[in-house]
């Protein structure tokens, strides 16, 4: 039996986001985000037609929820600010009720000695901004930077770790390539523009934070999905490099190195999908290099060389450059349809150590969504041993990466309490704490009891 000892100042906690936990989605001056709007328009696109109003209502329950975080041994918690709550029109007047809510929430966390990690954008574009073209419009970039500045001014004294975006690739791929999120566009060139403007917004927010004179740190949260080739055949290897370029390095390189990979720029030029740029953009990206990185990891991507020729009449897709590979015998979370490959987190951390200057980072999301967790209730508690195994196995790899010199400072589970999840609503439950949506009752799961012990002992036996 080994004891996996983590540093005593390791960040233990969980992550959530405004739209997925706050509720009060159209109360106290909050305007609609694209999620409120899309749900009103197309409820059938959401599992069981449950929309973003049906959450654990953190907006009303944050005080008691923070007490529960304490019970789970959290010393840190990540959530986001809702832009459409703070500045309902996207630009202009600040909503005083939102200021009070976020101030009170942050103060409550500090009182409990739980460090707030605050993200500025977690998929929830204000509708008013989307109606102006969303990230395709450079004016929206300016509006976001102003919003970021407002957040730093209002809350910067108490928040020492900021993140500009959570998984910026998700609105790009789900909203502009795969028709899975609003605005349901399928257009590679527009997707590239959205991705580019998002990184410009990010970089300007970073610069703005540095100009503010505040003494905290700022970063970005990326879902890094290691790409593994089917074989050592050069064509399979190339497929993996392309997937890595398109899905990881397209955000990781500008965020950490301040510059896009040359191969990516060349590829975009070759296919005539390069984004519109302006003079001076290169310097903006250089100035936006992060202090710290959040790493979200759920699953790897396995690929092989494409077998069939591209259909030139079909829409351009990342999959023009590789085929998905279903590796025989892979371990699956069948509920979510995602492969479980614990070593992936180690590979990411070692890649950051070896190729990205060993940037300080922490695991900002990792977790297991499971359907029908009621089946596992015994004595009133969800016996989620599968989640404990999942977290333990990932932490063993994180531990090993740290031993080998990776600069990983913490681990946050997705998520604190079962939450509303974009188009999947409550199909899969992820929390350390079970939520009864009807009664709003919260019950700590077995994994919540387990993590409390791990956090208090700075490690575990395994
Ligand atoms: C991450 C997001 O991609 O994965 C979360 O940051 C999300 O917002 C989580 O909820 C789990 O994915 P899903 O689609 O099962 O909710």
Would the pLDDT of 312 be above 90?
no
Measured CA to CA in angstroms, residue 402 lies from 90, 111, 394 at distances of 41, 30, 13
Supply the pLDDT for residue 462: 86
Q: Does 69 score more than 90 pLDDT?
A: yes
Q: Tell me how many degrees the CA angle 318-285-157 measures, rounded to the nearest 5.
A: 115
Predicted local distance difference test score (pLDDT) of residue 1: 84
Q: Is the ipTM of this complex over 0.85?
A: yes
- If you average pLDDT over residues 288-301, what whole number do you get? 98
Q: Is the pLDDT of residue 308 over 90?
A: no
pLDDT of residue 309: 87
CATH of the domain at 106: 3.20.20.80
Measured from the CB, is residue 55 less than 6 Å from ligand 1?
A: no
Q: Which residues pair with 460 in a beta bridge?
A: 4
Query: From the alpha carbon of 414, which atom of ligand 1 is closest?
Result: 9
Q: Is the model's pLDDT at 152 over the cut of 90? A: yes
C-beta separation of 308 from 223 below 8 A: no
Number of structural domains found in the chain: 1
34: number of Cβ within 10 Å:
23
Rounded to the nearest angstrom, the distance between the alpha carbon of 20 and the centre of ligand 1 is 10
Q: Which residues carry out catalysis?
A: 365
Across the chain, mean pLDDT equals: 98
Q: Tell me the per-residue pLDDT of 228-250, one tens digit each, with 9 for 90 and over.
A: 999 999 999 999 999 999 999 99
Q: Which atom of ligand 1 is nearest to the CA of 166?
A: 6
Q: pLDDT band at residue 4, thresholds of 50, 70 and 90?
A: very high
What gap in Å lies between CA 444 and CA 432, rounded to an integer? 6
189 vs 396: CA distance, rounded Å: 41
Pocket of ligand 1 contains residue 35 by CB under 6 Å: no
pLDDT of 287: 96
Find the domain containing 259 and state its range: 3-461
Which pTM does this prediction carry?
0.98
Give the whole-angstrom CA distance, residue 92 versus residue 146: 9
CA-proximal residue: ligand 1, atom 12 (nearest):
421
């Amino acid at each position: 039996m080994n004891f996996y000892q983590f540093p005593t100042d390791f960040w233990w906690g969980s992550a959530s986001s405004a739209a997925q936990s706050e509720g009060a989605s159209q109360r106290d001056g909050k305007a609609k985000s694209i999620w409120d709007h899309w749900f009103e328009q197309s409820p059938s696109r959401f599992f069981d037609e449950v929309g973003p109003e049906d959450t654990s209502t953190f907006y009303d329950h944050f005080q008691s929820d923070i007490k529960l975080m304490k019970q789970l041994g959290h010393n840190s918690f990540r959530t986001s600010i809702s832009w459409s709550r703070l500045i309902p029109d996207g630009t202009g007047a600040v909503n005083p009720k939102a200021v009070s809510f976020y101030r009170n929430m942050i103060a409550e966390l500090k009182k409990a000695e739980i460090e707030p990690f605050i993200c500025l954008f977690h998929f929830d574009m204000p509708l008013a901004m989307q109606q102006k073209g969303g990230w395709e419009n450079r004016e929206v970039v300016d509006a976001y930077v102003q919003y970021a500045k407002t957040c730093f001014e209002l809350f910067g004294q108490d928040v020492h770790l900021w993140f500009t975006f959570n998984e910026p690739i998700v609105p790009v791929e789900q909203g502009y390539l795969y028709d899975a999120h609003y605005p349901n566009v399928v257009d590679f060139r527009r997707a590239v523009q959205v991705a580019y403007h998002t990184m410009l917004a990010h970089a300007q927010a970073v610069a703005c934070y540095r100009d503010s004179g505040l003494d905290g740190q700022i970063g970005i949260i990326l879902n890094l999905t290691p790409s593994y080739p089917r074989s050592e055949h050069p064509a399979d290897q190339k497929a993996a490099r392309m997937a890595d370029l398109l899905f990881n390095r397209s955000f990781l390189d500008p965020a950490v190195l301040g510059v896009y990979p040359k191969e990516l720029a060349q590829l975009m030029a070759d296919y005539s999908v390069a984004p519109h740029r302006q003079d001076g953009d290169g310097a903006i990206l250089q100035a936006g290099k992060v202090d710290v990185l959040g790493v979200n990891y759920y699953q790897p991507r396995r690929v092989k060389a494409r077998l069939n020729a591209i259909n030139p009449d079909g829409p351009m897709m990342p999959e023009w450059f590789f085929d998905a590979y279903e590796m025989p015998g892979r371990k699956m979370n069948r509920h979510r349809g995602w492969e479980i490959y614990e070593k992936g987190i180690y590979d990411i951390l070692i890649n950051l150590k070896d190729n990205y200057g060993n940037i300080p980072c922490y695991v900002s999301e990792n977790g297991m969504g499971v359907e029908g967790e009621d089946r596992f209730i015994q004595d009133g508690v969800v016996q989620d041993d599968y989640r404990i195994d999942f977290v333990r196995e990932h932490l063993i790899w994180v531990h090993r990466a740290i031993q080998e010199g990776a600069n990983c400072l913490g681990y946050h589970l997705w998520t604190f309490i079962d939450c509303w999840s974009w188009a999947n609503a409550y199909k899969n439950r992820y929390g350390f704490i079970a939520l009864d949506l009807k009664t709003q009752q919260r019950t700590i799961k077995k994994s919540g009891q387990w993590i409390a012990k791990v956090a208090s002992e700075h490690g575990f036996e395994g």
